[in-house]
Chains A and B, each alone.
Chain A
Amino acid sequence: EAQVTQNPRYLITVTGKKLTVTCSQNMNHEYMSWYRQDPGLGLRQIYYSMNVEVTDKGDVPEGYKVSRKEKRNFPLILESPSPNQTSLYFCASSFDTTGRYGYTFGSGTRLTVV
């Protein structure tokens, strides 16, 4: 089944403890992206990647890192999480960089930082 897989689905952590949220897609998609979803703010893009080893900042990149060493994987790294990073996170991928095909989204990761 074609899908974007995120792990974990739920995570509670403490301030300052480094964490990684994994994202993997099995569709050979070129484009991958991370979003956070917050009430009243909709989806905001954190980082995106147009291909292997090519990443760039979205609208809210502060406090996050990403890497794209393989086409299928695009992990999101929080080096020192803070409570304002408590959110629902989505990874998404797209066939190419034109945007015409839409996104396939993962099921989300609900992160709580205490």
Chain B
Amino acid sequence: GNSVTQMEGPVTLSEEAFLTINCTYTATGYPSLFWYVQYPGEGLQLLLKATKADDKGSNKGFEATYRKETTSFHLEKGSVQVSDSAVYFCALSVHTGNQFYFGTGTSLTVIP
């Protein structure tokens, strides 16, 4: 079946530290991959996406590369800020009716 596994949280980092949140997936066919961010009290917002192997999605200093050989889509940022504190969800779409599969989310707290 289709599924997404992302690293357990919570993650606590100091400001300007390097961030990696691991995400691996299982899917039939050629899925599209996404990272969503949820700030406290808000809905999920699309952070970045990649629709085919070796694509790199990027936004607001975050990056993730679609690695088909390792079935991974790890989220990275070179220097985190306090304002990046949020819950991050990895997701995939297999382009059929029951479209999206989400990971369980990783909570990130950045301390000054």
Residues of A bordering B, CB below 8 Å:
4, 31, 33, 40-43, 45, 48, 50, 56, 58-59, 90, 92, 94, 97-100, 102-108
The segment from B14-22, B61-69, B74-82, B89-97 that touches chain A is: B89-97
Complex Cα gap A107–B44 (Å):
8
Does A56 contact B44, Cβ atoms closer than 8 Å? no
Does B99 contact A42, Cβ atoms closer than 8 Å? no
Does B93 contact A99, Cβ atoms closer than 8 Å? yes
Q: A100-B93, A107-B42 are in contact. Are A58 and B98 (CB under 8 A)?
A: yes
Does B102 contact A43, Cβ atoms closer than 8 Å? yes
Does B44 contact A31, Cβ atoms closer than 8 Å? no
Tell me if B104 is interfacial: C-beta within 8 Å of chain A.
Answer: yes
CB distance from A40 to the nearest CB of B (A): 7
Q: A48-B99, A99-B32, A102-B46 are in contact. Are A42 and B104 (CB under 8 A)?
A: yes
Complex Cα gap A4–B46 (Å):
13
Contact of A100 among B43, B44, B95, B97 (CB under 8 A): B95
